[in-house]
Structure 1
Amino acid sequence: MRRRQGRPAGRRGHDTRLVVTLVVAVLAVTLGLLAPWGYATFVNTSAKDRIEAAPPPPLFTDSQVAPTAREVLAQGDPASAMLQQWWSGHGRARDDAAFTAWLESSFPAPPGESTRKAQMAEVERLDLLRSDAGVKAASWLESFGKDDVWKLYAHDQGEMLAAAVGDSRKSHLKDMLKMSKDVADALGARFGQSAPYVTEPRLRPDHTVVPGQVCPCSYPSRHAAAGAAARSYLGALDPHRAEDYRWTESQIDYSRVYMAGHYPADVDAGALLGDMIGQYFLVTREHRSPAQAAAGPTPEPRR
């Protein structure tokens, strides 16, 4: 952990404003989500109910999330290339336990320390740009971006399908989100890469970091893994909405770097993992060929 001997007055002023901004924004979001959370804890509510009870604040602009969107989109081809090893050894048969073990054993290691130090500059740049509105947006995306927004999208698709087909699709999405969480958590524990705010506690003064703390471990991003898996799966099944899914994915991923929870490389790795899981589910649940799954959504012309 880098030690700072002193900070200029401008930096101290920024830190004070940031603490106030973070505390006020987090309190506002917490209070706004507290009632829906309590209701969801004791009543069997759906993702649709929870989001209706706590609708999103204004989110980030397209220009803000565009660089993240490009980086995440670029993970599709490497994911398809890595999956060729799986398909060649296992065919198209469904074997979730073996696939999970393969992902955990073959996933690429995080970048070296020099890359992470270089990427800290981007995290610090976003720290200087944080605002009350941005923190509110990021807090909402953190709360609902792991699964609820994707469950809501699956629900919306299911509304236009026969009940059995819609229920099957929602069930597959639920299994996919669980797989992405389990694998991302296992890889996080394996690699032990600290989140940016653990390395630099000043980036999140609303969190307590104790001496010697290593985690939360940030490689790969669990939010990014869930988003890429859901986007690739749902986008292939409803190609005309694929751009909406990509926009949501980029919002969630950008928010993770914005709040110093992840480095850009963590988000890219999460997208790589999620793309592989999404393609696997398209092949094993929706009976697509590996080539079709890798190609992504291909909408037919509207009539």
Structure 2
Amino acid sequence: MIGRAARLATGAGAVLVLAACAGSPKSVATLPKDGYLSAGVLSDMAAAIPAPPTPGSPQDAADKAASARYAALEDGDRWLLATSHAEVRPPLALQHFDCALGVRLGSAETPVLDRMMGRLFHDAASVAEQVKARQMRTRPVADDPQRRACQTLDAAARRSGSYPSGGAAVGVAYGEAFATLEPDRAEAVRRIGHQIGISRLVCAMHYPSDVAAGEAIGRQVAGRAVADPAFQADRAAARAELAAARRTGLTNPGCAAERAALATVLP
């Protein structure tokens, strides 16, 4: 479950690879109770997501083989970045996009941006959880009890559903929203949205098929949300908040570490 896994993420990510990624100290905000999309739209999206690979199928075997290769990244730079990416709730998760945006989120107040991304979190996570409730697929860390996760897990979180990846869904939704807010940086922010999903593979929390399905959810949610009048009403204020953060002249001193981690060759 995305909510449970996020709550159990270690705080170590803030002091590891991206030690300087935190701007002014911010706690996780109270997430909005509603997103941009109606319950019916979210249910229709969930119904359109295909089932996970059948256990023992060639796709399932390929997923497991790919996941096993990611174990080689444990304790390296990419592993530490994945530990940071385990936090996917705004406003803290928005700082994953600092380097791509060329700002230091936290250097200015961003209540509209935080609320906007919180509403996207609600919608993307809702679709992912509905799909998970339909058919259970176990996580890599449950299939292999000896496998290490890059976040703190209790037994229930270890056994929670793997398909689709809620973290990947949320990461891509954030990336698409930032691309709308800052079109000149669209490629860079979409890359980070995708890398948040890759981090779930590095963390042994999901298989490749789980991440691919999650990213599809994130794109669909963002595509519908950005056309919603409520999102469009928020957009001008969110852009102004980003501009205010940019005017502080502060950038994230952890960006060199992020570049090094993202340069890691994936298995």
TM-score normalised over the length of structure 2: 0.62
- CA, structure 1 residues 51+268, in 2 after alignment: closer, same or farther (shift >3 Å)? farther
> Does residue 251 of structure 1 match 2:195?
yes
Q: Count how many residue pairs are aligned between Structure 1 and Structure 2.
A: 202
SS at match of 2:226: helix
- 1:96 equivalent among 6, 28, 38: 38
The amino acid across from 1:216 in the alignment is: S
Give me the whole-angstrom Cα distance separating, in 1, the residues matched to 2:159 and 2:189.
30
After superposition, what is the alpha-carbon deviation per residue over 1:190-244, rounded to whole angstroms, capped at 9, x for unaligned?
A: 221111111111212786769xx98321111111111111211220231111122
Structure 1: gaps spanning 5 or more residues? 1-25, 34-46, 53-93, 288-303
Structure with a larger share of its residues in helix:
1
After superposition, what is the alpha-carbon deviation per residue over 1:151-201, rounded to whole angstroms, capped at 9, x for unaligned?
A: 786996999xxx9xx765543322111111122122222221111111111
> Does residue 204 of structure 1 match 2:124?
no
Deviation at 1:146, TM superposition (A): 4.2
> Does residue 277 of structure 1 match 2:224?
no
The amino acid across from 1:248 in the alignment is: I
The amino acid across from 1:204 in the alignment is: R
TM-score normalised over the length of structure 1: 0.56
Please identify runs of 4+ aligned residues in structure 1 that moved more than 6 A: 154-159
**Does structure 1 conserve the Cα–Cα contact (< 8 Å) formed by 2:141 and 2:158?**
no
Give me the whole-angstrom Cα distance separating, in 2, the residues matched to 1:199 and 1:126.
15
> Does residue 175 of structure 1 match 2:112?
no
The amino acid across from 1:230 in the alignment is: Y
Partner of 2:128: 184
- 1:29 equivalent among 4, 12, 18: 12
After superposition, what is the alpha-carbon deviation per residue over 1:1-26, rounded to whole angstroms, capped at 9, x for unaligned?
A: xxxxxxxxxxxxxxxxxxxxxxxxx9
Question: Which is bigger in relative contact order (C-alpha 8 A, separation at least 6)?
Answer: 2
- CA, structure 1 residues 188+234, in 2 after alignment: closer, same or farther (shift >3 Å)? same
SS at match of 1:125: helix
**Does structure 1 conserve the Cα–Cα contact (< 8 Å) formed by 2:175 and 2:191?**
no
> Does residue 108 of structure 1 match 2:50?
yes
> Does residue 222 of structure 1 match 2:166?
yes
**Does structure 2 conserve the Cα–Cα contact (< 8 Å) formed by 1:188 and 1:217?**
yes
Give me the whole-angstrom Cα distance separating, in 2, the residues matched to 1:31 and 1:228.
21
After superposition, what is the alpha-carbon deviation per residue over 1:31-57, rounded to whole angstroms, capped at 9, x for unaligned?
A: 949xxxxxxxxxxxxx853479xxxxx
Q: CA RMSD in A?
A: 3.8
Matches within 5 A, 1:37-52: 48-50=23-25
**Higher CA-based Rg:** 1
Deviation at 1:253, TM superposition (A): 1.4
> Does residue 242 of structure 1 match 2:186?
yes
SS at match of 2:164: coil
Structure 2: gaps spanning 5 or more residues? 1-8, 17-21, 28-35, 233-267
**Does structure 2 conserve the Cα–Cα contact (< 8 Å) formed by 1:146 and 1:223?**
no
